[in-house]
């Protein structure tokens, strides 16, 4: 590359970095970052984890505060709620609002905080991974603030809740009791399980999301009615997951073992093992690392489909679940089935098959798709614009980039990284994009889209392993952006 081309590339990188930092600055509330000021004006659980991963490059202190704010809303039973509501935001700005969830009353038995309003469901457990990466960004600051020591018991309780209270299938995997919990809200993977759920009366609520986004980009009214029904039923049960401490989860009509959710739990178990080692809890670290590897085996045993070369969801309520307590696999190809590529103990033949599937006609990596779509490009339900029914998302592609690098595919990982950065800049850090064209959909200036672009720009690819690493070579230019993030 000539000198002129190098200067052009450097200017473009600096511009993208500054623009991403501006998004995080605009979305910062003082204690956390909203995904979007209009569409999502509160704190979301897995959004904050991904945002902290990018924010650590600008202000490790803010990244720590982001995660601490979220974990401070943890319930007594260990769950980390998927929304922490900002009391300064009007009730009608977002639905379902605090008066729908009624966490302080309906969630009292489950240990919901009395002074903080939250939702009652959860989102994917990316938090221990985020805590570990934020610690690595500035270990001195982290130790001075006892960041890991204070986060550890909350993370351990969170994982215990998922392993015990949500083990509806009895095999050790966590189940989700609502599509919103898995994070990929209207994925076609949920169509069959949701058919059992009667929708709520549409006159009983008003969708605030359509005030800020095109209807063709969002879930349908029928799907939304089913989401509301499931959430209301769970609330009316007092957010109870079951009667005992073991194998208790999933008493409602929706209970699914999802590969992405469980892969992120296992990845966070690995991260929590490293946190425990850093804190001198060697015995606990060994036990947790062993458990993470065992859960990887369980994931393969329960959800791997060798014929599809993909992990599939298991619907625990399919058919007569009293006769089939293990449920049935859902024959739909979603991007969540590729996410287990992030796991270090994944058997090599399984990892190789996942890469082939990602690069094949269903997901188009390195081929017709600029970014990996959320759903099978050849599927009958594919829609390039409608939320999780086809569009590409930055968080799932970020996870796949890490997985490709982890499993010996640096060239494919580098290509995906370049595409992510190009599309992030072109789309204005859109919430999600058309996987073929990169055209932005949903919100613009979206929190994790900006944060993960920053991480791809500023993290050292050679250091994306499990050991601490120093500042990347471009560190001096980080200071330019950091001026806007004063830690005071």
The residues assigned a catalytic role are: 185, 431
Cα gap 399→341, rounded to integer Å: 8
CA-closest candidate to residue 465, choices 395, 408, 396, 415: 408
Helices marked H in 256-335: 259-278, 282-303
Q: Is residue 451 within 8 Å of 24, Cβ to Cβ? A: yes
Element (H, E) at 454: helix 447-458
Secondary structure of residue 311 in the 3-state scheme: strand
3-state DSSP helix/strand/coil % of the chain, to nearest 5: 50, 5, 45
Cα gap 9→16, rounded to integer Å: 11
Q: Is residue 435 within 8 Å of 373, Cβ to Cβ? A: yes
Secondary structure of residue 315 in the 3-state scheme: strand
Cα gap 109→116, rounded to integer Å: 15
CA-closest candidate to residue 48, choices 78, 17, 74: 74
Cα gap 182→459, rounded to integer Å: 27
Q: Is residue 83 within 8 Å of 119, Cβ to Cβ? A: yes
CA-closest candidate to residue 225, choices 197, 253, 252: 197
Cα gap 95→111, rounded to integer Å: 23
What tokens does 401 get?
Answer: 């980039």
Cα gap 177→230, rounded to integer Å: 8
- In the DSSP assignment, the letter for residue 8 is H
Q: Is residue 237 within 8 Å of 98, Cβ to Cβ? A: no
Q: Is residue 104 within 8 Å of 118, Cβ to Cβ? A: no
């Amino acid at each position: 590359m000539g000198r002129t081309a190098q200067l052009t590339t450097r200017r473009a990188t600096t511009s993208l970095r500054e623009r991403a930092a501006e998004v995080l600055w605009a979305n910062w509330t003082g204690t956390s970052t909203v995904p979007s000021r209009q569409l999502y004006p509160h704190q979301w659980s897995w959004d904050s984890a991904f945002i902290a991963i990018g924010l650590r490059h600008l202000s490790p202190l803010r990244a720590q505060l982001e995660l601490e704010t979220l974990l401070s809303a943890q319930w007594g039973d260990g769950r980390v709620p998927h929304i922490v509501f900002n009391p300064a935001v009007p009730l009608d700005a977002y639905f379902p609002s605090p008066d729908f969830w009624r966490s302080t009353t309906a969630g009292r038995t489950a240990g919901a905080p009395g002074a903080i309003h939250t939702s009652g469901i959860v989102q994917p457990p990316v938090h221990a991974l985020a805590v570990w990466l934020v610690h690595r960004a500035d270990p001195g600051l982290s130790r001075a603030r006892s960041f890991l020591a204070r986060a550890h018991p909350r993370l351990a309780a969170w994982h215990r809740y998922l392993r015990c209270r949500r083990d509806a299938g009895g095999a050790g995997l966590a189940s989700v009791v609502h599509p919103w919990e898995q994070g990929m809200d209207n994925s076609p993977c949920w169509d069959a399980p949701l058919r059992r759920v009667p929708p709520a009366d549409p006159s009983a609520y008003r969708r605030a999301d359509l005030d800020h986004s095109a209807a063709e980009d969002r879930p349908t009214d029928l799907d939304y009615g089913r989401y509301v029904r499931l959430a209301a039923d769970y609330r009316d049960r007092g957010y109870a997951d079951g009667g005992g401490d073991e194998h208790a989860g999933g008493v409602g009509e929706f209970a699914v073992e999802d590969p992405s959710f469980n892969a992120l739990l296992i990845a966070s178990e690995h991260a929590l093992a490293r946190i425990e080692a850093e804190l001198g809890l060697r015995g606990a670290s060994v036990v947790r690392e062993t458990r993470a590897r065992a859960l990887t085996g369980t994931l393969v045993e329960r959800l791997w489909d060798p014929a599809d070369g993909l992990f599939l969801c298991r619907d625990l309520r399919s058919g007569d679940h009293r006769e089939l307590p293990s449920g049935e696999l859902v024959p739909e190809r979603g991007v969540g089935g590729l996410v287990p590529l992030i796991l270090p103990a994944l058997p090599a033949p399984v990892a190789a098959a996942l890469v082939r599937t990602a690069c094949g006609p269903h997901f188009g990596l390195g081929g017709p798709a600029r970014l990996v779509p959320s759903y099978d490009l050849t599927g009958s339900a594919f829609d390039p614009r409608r939320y999780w029914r086809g569009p590409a998302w930055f968080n799932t592609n970020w996870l796949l980039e890490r997985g490709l690098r982890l499993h010996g595919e640096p060239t494919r990982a580098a290509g995906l990284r370049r595409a992510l950065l190009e599309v992030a800049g072109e789309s204005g850090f859109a919430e999600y994009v058309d996987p073929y064209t990169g055209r932005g959909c949903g919100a613009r200036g979206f929190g994790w889209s900006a944060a993960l672009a920053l991480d791809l720009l500023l993290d050292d690819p050679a250091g994306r392993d499990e050991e601490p690493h120093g500042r990347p070579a471009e560190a001096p230019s980080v200071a330019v952006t950091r001026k806007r993030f004063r830690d005071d």
